Each structure stands twice: as structure tokens, then as C-alpha cells.
Structure 1
Amino acid sequence: MTKYKNRYRVETIRWQNWDYSDAGQYFVTICVNKRDKILGTVDNGKMILSPYGEIVKSEILAIQTYFDNVDVDEWVIMPNHLHLIITIYDVGAGMIVETIHELSLQQRRQQQYHIKRRQMLIPKIIGKFKMRTSKKMNEIRHTQGYKNWQSDYFDRVIRNEKEYYRIKQYIINNPLNWYKDELYTEKNKT
């Protein structure tokens, strides 16, 4: 870990060579805080959702209603984490409509950079998802402000069709393989 302003900070796990404002497919894993098994249980290879798991399910289904150019292609909720394949479609290049005389080249580059930053949807999607699910879960158990999710999340840019289908199959089979999962712990046994 490195220090910034004399404090330790977590290194980014994002792919440094990828522009996260670009369209693409992403494999995302979000873990429950302390890996507590609050989202349900696995019984005979099937996931049985708890009331908190049902909240998570409804918010997964709502993601594409909040973001026009987004689809959740495949997903699974596990007792202490969830996996999603999120597809972000190209929203088009017609965001900036100006003549060459209106802005200097430097100003246009800065404006394009800021527009691209605003288009980085994965952090926005995950942030909104965590906020909405936490608020609803905390209302049920009267724990306002409780941190239900780990601060970060794992994402992987899906690079080709073969990788997409391998990840999709992994997600589909996740409940069957729960006891082999690295996120399965004795503490969280079902």
C-alpha cells in the first residue's frame, strides 16, 4: 500500500489501460460488508433469497430503468456477494455540437475529457445500487447509516465473446459451486 498525504490508501484495481467511459461489457462482483451471509442461503445448489436478497434482486432489475444505455445481461445473488454482467452501449459521439471557431483546441479537449468522465457509468451504477439497497435494508432493521457493502467492488472488462460465455456460465453455476467458492467461509456456512 502506498501513502497519500501521510495516510495509507488502497491501490486501484481498475484496468489502467481501459477508458471506463467506453461502451463494453463488465463482469462485476460486489461483496457484503464483512462477508456476512445476509442475502440468503444455498440449498441443494439453489439460492434461497432472504428479505435483503429480495431487495438486492429488485434493485438489480431496476438498474436498466435508471440508465438508458445499460443492460444487466446475467446476474446471481449469493449469500454474501453478487455477480453481474453489465453491458454499456455506445451512446454516440454527438455529445458536443460546436464549430471549430467556438472553442480553442485545448478547451475542446478539456470539455471532451469532462464529458467522458461523466459518462463513466460503472462507478455510478454500483454507487446508486449500493445506496438504494443499503437504504432499504437499513430501514427494515432500523440501522440507519449501517455499511452493508464493502467499499470497493471488483470489475473485469470482458474482452471477447469466448470470455463472455465463460463468465456467464460461471455466474449460472455459482449456486451449484457455492461450497467451492472463495467467498464461502466457515463463518458463512449454509
Structure 2
Amino acid sequence: MNNKKFPTRKLLRMQNYDYSNMGVYFITICSRGKEKIFGDIITGKNVELTLNENGKIIKNYIENIDELLIYKIMPNHVHILLLLDEESRKNNRSVPMIVRSLKSLSSKKIGFSCWQRSYHDRIVRNKREFEMIWNYIEHNEETWNRDCYNV
């Protein structure tokens, strides 16, 4: 009998938390294999993000999320800040449902599964954290050369 221990997958979601609760959520979804398939960062006098066709498709789906506050599409990942409110609860909307829809619809339109299996989330706890995350998303392409997702 083989007693090898297999690595356990790290849980990315908070245990026993209801992700349909009202609140603000910071979501990061990476492309499959962290491949740069959504666009390019152009550096020069200004740093500029240029979306390719895949990035434009994803942009279209993200902008149709009712709970959307701000987002940024990067070459191999997206950052999304969501606000789930009373209306979201009435419509049985949750973070996993929103992410699942985005990944499914955009992959179908693009023609291949372009996303990693899961995603990262952070439940935003206060105004200071909200402002830091907003600023991070808004200026993300400016820090691309130091970004942990720039592989």
C-alpha cells in the first residue's frame, strides 16, 4: 500500500462565510497558466494598457455586472471590486455566482477556457481598506513591472 501524502489544495474562500452577504468584495481572477492573453502593457512616456480581442470580450462582460464598482483588466488577470447590496440579495446573487458567470460566458465567447480554476477574494472590512484597494485597482498598470502576476 502506498502511504504517500498528496498535497492539499489551499482553500481560497473563508470557511463558513456566506458570499451572498451584503458587502464589498475584491476579486482577482487569473488567466489559465497566467498566460498574457488579454492585452499588453505599453511603456513609454505613459504606461498604457491595450486590450486585445479577448480583453475586449472580457471588458464587455465585466461592465454588465450590476454589482460592479471598479475593475482593471491586466494582460493575465483581472481585478474587480463588487458591492453586493439588498438588490443583489433579492436576486440571489453571490460572489461565486458572479465569477462563475463571468468565466463561463467570456470563455464561451472567446472559444476556449481562458481562466484558472479558482479566484482570489478579499472581503473589504473598512473605508481605509476600500480606498487602498480602489487606488490599487485604478493604478494597477503603472506597477505592472513589479506586479506578482507579471510572470
The two structures have a TM-score, normalised by structure 2, of: 0.87
Q: Which residue number in structure 1 is paired with residue 110 of structure 2?
A: 137
Q: Which residue number in structure 2 is paired with residue 179 of structure 1?
A: 145
Say which of 76, 85, 91 aligns to 1:80: 76
The two structures have a TM-score, normalised by structure 1, of: 0.70
Q: What pairs with 1:38-187 in structure 2 (closer than 5 Å)?
A: 38-44=37-43, 45-64=47-66, 71-91=67-87, 119=92, 121-138=94-111, 146-185=112-151
Tell me the amino acid that sits aligned with residue 35 of structure 2.
D
Partner Cα distance (1:147, 1:92) in 2: 27
Q: Which residue number in structure 2 is paired with residue 188 of structure 1?
A: none
| Cα distance, 1:173 vs structure 2 | 1.0
For the aligned residue pairs, the C-alpha RMSD in angstroms reads 2.2
Tell me the amino acid that sits aligned with residue 62 of structure 2.
I
Does the Cα contact within 8 Å between 2:20 and 2:84 map onto a contact in 1? no
| Cα distance, 1:63 vs structure 2 | 1.5
Does the Cα contact within 8 Å between 1:26 and 1:156 map onto a contact in 2? yes
Does the Cα contact within 8 Å between 2:39 and 2:52 map onto a contact in 1? yes
| Cα distance, 1:12 vs structure 2 | 1.9
Q: Which residue number in structure 2 is paired with residue 110 of structure 1?
A: none
Task: Spell out structure 1 runs of 4+ moving beyond 4 A.
Answer: 6-9
Q: Deviations over 1:67-115 (max 9, x none)?
A: xxxx21110000000000000002499x7xxxxxxxxxxxxxxxxxxxx
Q: Which residue number in structure 2 is paired with residue 36 of structure 1?
A: 35
Partner Cα distance (2:88, 2:27) in 1: 24
Q: Which residue number in structure 1 is paired with residue 11 of structure 2?
A: 12
Q: Deviations over 1:6-62 (max 9, x none)?
A: 986523211226332210000000000011111000112211000000001000011
Tell me the amino acid that sits aligned with residue 108 of structure 2.
K
Partner Cα distance (2:16, 2:125) in 1: 13
Size of the aligned set, in residue pairs, is: 144
Structure 2: unaligned runs, 5 residues or longer? none
Q: Percent identity?
A: 33
Partner Cα distance (1:63, 1:21) in 2: 15
